[in-house]
Structure 1
Amino acid sequence: MRNMPVISVLMPVYNAELYLRQAIDSILSQHFEDFELLIFNDGSKDSSKEIIQSFCDPRIHLIDFENNQGYVTLLNLGLRKARGKYIARMDADDIAHPYRFQKQYEFLEQNKEYILCGTNFKIVDRDQIVKLPSDDEEIKLKLLYINAFCHPSVMFRASTIREKRILYSTAHMPFEDYELWVRISELGKLKNLQEVLLCYRIHDKNISLKQRTKTQQELKRETQIGYIREFFRNMNFEHSEELTLHKLFHKNSGFTRDELKSVGKLVRSIIDKSTVYPVSTRAVHDLLISMYFYRCTTSTHIGLHSFILANQFKLKGISFFQNLKLLIKAVFKYKSVIE
């Protein structure tokens, strides 16, 4: 048996014949060559298996299933089978930059306190580069309201995964990655390299784009609330206060006047109380104020109240023109209501 690889690459495959060869080629062409590529054929009905078998490279290990198991189940199998010091993710329809592994490996080797490293990415067939939050503080703040990583771009420190017996949650599919980031954010530092090291393909077969069931939506909501609870644990919130903060970060529509007043009151109480967070206090306060201001700008249907409520805080980071724009929109809506 060959020596233990430095990196174990996990690639689930299901009916991916259109893009699979290009994805595998991009891994086998990596400048960093010491890896194993674990490919899980998840009961594909197309020519995916034949494409995988057409490659003659000892670093490829095909684990074939006749029936569909589900990609989260196979990712967990991959976490158990991986022998490398690091574990990298890759999807069967994406393209890795030739120096992706090299740069992620070097970062994790030189920064032992970091346990996860992702990258920026480009969307295939679009002139669009997606820049993700860079360092640990920014990422942990962003996790309060968005997924801060491109899943197929990440590389884990395998020792953390093994010691903590970390697995993906099959119940949380298709946002199992966000749920995982939330859990491991407590274990060490997180990073996104500010280089485009992955070309990401968006199409109608993307799991993350499919309709979520009511149960899945509720599990996602519980995960978001759980992260808020842990992030603000020193505030000793009542559950109703956790729900109010969740509304600030995740509500999909405009706020009523009473909702803005309630959220503003909670933001004020957080700012007035001296406590400790996973990141700097100033960063937390700035985020809360900017998020509250944004909610006011999307709630100008309540008229001038949106402007008045927004300006109860010192608007550091909010420009004069942003505030003026809010005032104009609020006045316009106020006049529309009067008329």
Structure 2
Amino acid sequence: MLASVITAVFNGEKYLQESIESILNQTIKEIEFIIVNDGSTDSTKDILDAITDKRVKIIHLEKNLGAANALNTGITYAKSDWIAIQDADDISMPTRIEEQLLHVSKNPHLVGVSSLVECIKGNIPVSPSIFYGEQTLYNIVLNKEDNFNSRFYNCYVCHGSVMFSKEAFQRVNGYNPHFKISYDYDLWLRLYDIYPIEKINRILYQYRVLPNSLGKRSKSDTISELMTSVIHFIGNSIISNKKKNNPSFVVLGSKKGCSFVMKKVKLKEEINIMKFLDGGKNRSKKIALEYYNQGLIDGIIILNNKNAQHLIDYFLDRGLIFNQDVFKIWNYKF
């Protein structure tokens, strides 16, 4: 078995058959295909039960517990060293698995590989700005340093296009079921701690842009989860690297941005935001630096906006280290 392909599906009857066929028709045949039905109430179960290909294993869950839980369940059954994700809405190009396996075999240090994507439409109209924005974002190819350094405020990796090491996945404890939207991004953060995910500079995946997908129903909820994931990750890194049991930060951003963090981001008790400061005021950066130099805080978090780079340059010029002492993270754009 060269690769295990995992799909989690909830009420995916519209596009599921096409998605399944794209995997069964891959140029590499030595695969197993594990599909987890996450408590669907439409005809998903009937579609899955009609599959006769012996490479396919179907798991029916009685209750809908979210994609992260379903993917974790499927991966526990996987027999291969490499896990390829296939979202139930999307289509893999015929050579996708073959090309990704070839890439990781030539680069054994990798924990994962993705690809460029072609965005495709479903049967519900989506605005051109969203459609082309997604395609532009997922087709940015960065070197490993830029990819790593930008990980706290951007994500250039399309979830379904990724193949990753099962060993690395288990080492970082898999998907976090706490996240209903950004479970993939949260996993990338932890995998990046081992090695950045590289991207093959070819279109190997067709990503269906749907306006009613979980990540697009509420911009507020999506950004809230992204921020929560990042701040938890940064806090845990401080705990590991600086041996601090209760890391403390200040946050610099606009009044609206700081208010959003206060209201929408749920942090663990051991991670403390000491103060929110208006990043547009000259005095704020001096206060943050003073707190840091006095040892009152362990890091400075800057919300990504037009003033962010100026603030980062200010702290770096005074000896702080980017993504170690000072961090730029996602921001809610009002």
- TM-score, scaled to structure 2: 0.70
Change (3 A) 1:51 1:188: same
- 2:183 is aligned with 1:176: yes
The residue matched to 1:69 in structure 2 has which SS?
Answer: coil
For structure 1, which segment, 258-267 or 15-24, has the greater mean C-alpha deviation from structure 2 after superposition?
258-267
Alignment check: 8 A CA contact 2:147 2:196 kept: no
Partner residue in 2 for 1:149: 157
Change (3 A) 1:256 1:183: closer
- 2:156 is aligned with 1:133: no
Partner residue in 2 for 1:317: none
Partner residue in 2 for 1:326: none
Partner residue in 1 for 2:16: 20
Change (3 A) 1:260 1:32: farther
Superposed displacement of residue 228, structure 1: 5.0
Superposed displacement of residue 275, structure 1: 5.5
Partner residue in 1 for 2:216: 209
The residue matched to 1:172 in structure 2 has which SS?
Answer: coil
Superposed displacement of residue 42, structure 1: 1.9
Superposed displacement of residue 220, structure 1: 3.3
Partner residue in 1 for 2:281: 258
Consecutive unaligned residues of structure 1, counting only runs of 5 or more, are 279-284, 292-297, 299-339
Q: Structure 1, residues 18-40: CA drift from partner, whole Å, max 9, x if none?
A: 11111011001111211110011
Alignment check: 8 A CA contact 1:113 1:189 kept: no
Alignment check: 8 A CA contact 1:26 1:97 kept: yes
Partner residue in 2 for 1:74: 70
The residue matched to 1:109 in structure 2 has which SS?
Answer: helix
Consecutive unaligned residues of structure 2, counting only runs of 5 or more, are 122-127, 261-277, 286-307
Partner residue in 2 for 1:222: 228
1:138 maps to amino acid: D
Match of 1:273 among 319, 325, 329: 319
Q: Distance in 2 between matches of 1:18 and 1:258?
A: 51
Q: Structure 1, residues 249-269: CA drift from partner, whole Å, max 9, x if none?
A: x889xx874169736355223
Change (3 A) 1:226 1:71: closer
Q: Distance in 1 between matches of 2:53 and 2:225?
A: 41
Higher helix share: 1
- 2:48 is aligned with 1:52: yes
Change (3 A) 1:165 1:82: farther
May I ask how many residue pairs the two structures share in their alignment?
273
Alignment check: 8 A CA contact 2:182 2:225 kept: no
Change (3 A) 1:71 1:44: same
Change (3 A) 1:167 1:240: closer
Matches within 5 A, 1:1-16: 5-16=1-12
Alignment check: 8 A CA contact 2:113 2:162 kept: yes
Partner residue in 1 for 2:173: 166
Alignment check: 8 A CA contact 1:88 1:154 kept: yes
Alignment check: 8 A CA contact 2:68 2:177 kept: yes
Alignment check: 8 A CA contact 1:23 1:92 kept: yes
Q: Structure 1, residues 33-85: CA drift from partner, whole Å, max 9, x if none?
A: 11110011122222222222333211111111333232211111122111111
Superposed displacement of residue 157, structure 1: 1.0
For the aligned residue pairs, the C-alpha RMSD in angstroms reads: 3.7
Change (3 A) 1:45 1:33: same
Q: Which ranges of 4 or more aligned residues in structure 1 deviate by more than 6 Å?
A: none
- TM-score, scaled to structure 1: 0.69
For structure 1, which segment, 133-142 or 196-205, has the greater mean C-alpha deviation from structure 2 after superposition?
133-142
Alignment check: 8 A CA contact 1:7 1:86 kept: yes
Alignment check: 8 A CA contact 1:144 1:227 kept: no
Q: Distance in 1 between matches of 2:44 and 2:320?
A: 57
- 2:164 is aligned with 1:118: no
Partner residue in 2 for 1:100: 96
Change (3 A) 1:240 1:62: closer
Alignment check: 8 A CA contact 1:16 1:48 kept: yes
Q: Which structure has the larger Rg over C-alpha atoms? A: 1
